[in-house]
Amino acid sequence: MLQITWTEALGSLTGLVSVWLTVRNKVWCWFWGILSVALYVVVFWNERLYADMVLQLVFVVMNCYGWYKWHAGRVHAGSGNNLATTALRPITRIPQEYLLTSIICGAILAISLMLFLKRFTNSVAPEMDSALTATSIVALWMQAQKYRESWLVWLAADIFYVGLFVSRQLWLTAALYLVFCGMAILGWREWTKEMAV
């Protein structure tokens, strides 16, 4: 039976807005992201997906960080009444040394979370929950830095999240993450085009 809570519905809607604005490279993506993840704290608590619940709390902080990073590169150009705000932070490829560091940090975080969840909680999917939480943190950090490869990491996480949410009968959230898969592909294409300009 399909059961959708208002928190899941609003979390999904605001999540869609956030990712669409990210694809379009609009700074307001971070505001909508904060709304979405705050709602999903409640959803994942109710589903006993504790690592994903904590991930949403981390996402609140990371969304604030991303908002700051995207704004930090802005300067005013022109003079007098003709001042225009320009974003200096360009979309780039991730440096090789950061890529390796991201993989290592993600693996350490995933293993640590899994051990914690198995020992101290009644998590229903500690391995998958931990791996996807760590992958998502890495992806969001990459997104805040405007590394194009963040979309590939999101795509990998989103594919597995669809399966996890189907297993928990979070049908709307599973559908949302299926849409996120398509948006990750679109984001990759859009950011690649913008890099070429």
pLDDT digit string (tens) for the chain, length 197 residues: 556 788 999 999 999 999 999 999 899 999 999 999 999 999 999 888 887 888 899 989 999 999 888 887 654 444 445 544 455 578 999 999 999 999 999 999 999 999 999 999 888 899 998 999 999 999 999 999 999 999 999 999 999 999 999 998 889 889 999 999 999 999 999 999 988 76
The pLDDT, as a whole number, for residue 69 is: 87
**Radius of gyration in angstroms for the set of CA atoms belonging to the chain, rounded to a whole number:** 17
Share of the chain above pLDDT 70, in %: 90
- Residue 84 has a pLDDT of 47
The string over 132-160, giving b where at least 16 C-beta atoms fall within 10 Å of a residue's C-beta and e elsewhere, is bbbbbbbbbbbbbbbbbbbbbbbbebbee
**Dist CA 118 CA 70 (whole Å):** 37
Question: Sign of dihedral through CA atoms 142, 145, 147, 151?
Answer: positive
pLDDT digits (tens, 9 = 90+) for 66-108: 988 888 765 444 444 554 445 557 899 999 999 999 999 999 9
With CA atoms as reference, report the closest residue to 28 among 60, 90, 70. 70
Q: Measured at the alpha carbon of residue 65, what is the angle toward residues 100 and 121, in degrees to the nearest 5?
A: 75
Q: How high is the pLDDT of residue 74?
A: 57
From the list 30, 20, 16, 33, the residue with the least C-alpha distance to 187 is 20
8-state DSSP, 80: G
| CA–CA dist 138, 98 (Å, integer) | 11
Q: Are 172 and 12 in contact (CB under 8 A)?
A: yes
Backbone angles phi, psi at 136, to 5 degrees: -65, -40
Can you tell me which residue has the tokens 């409640």? 42
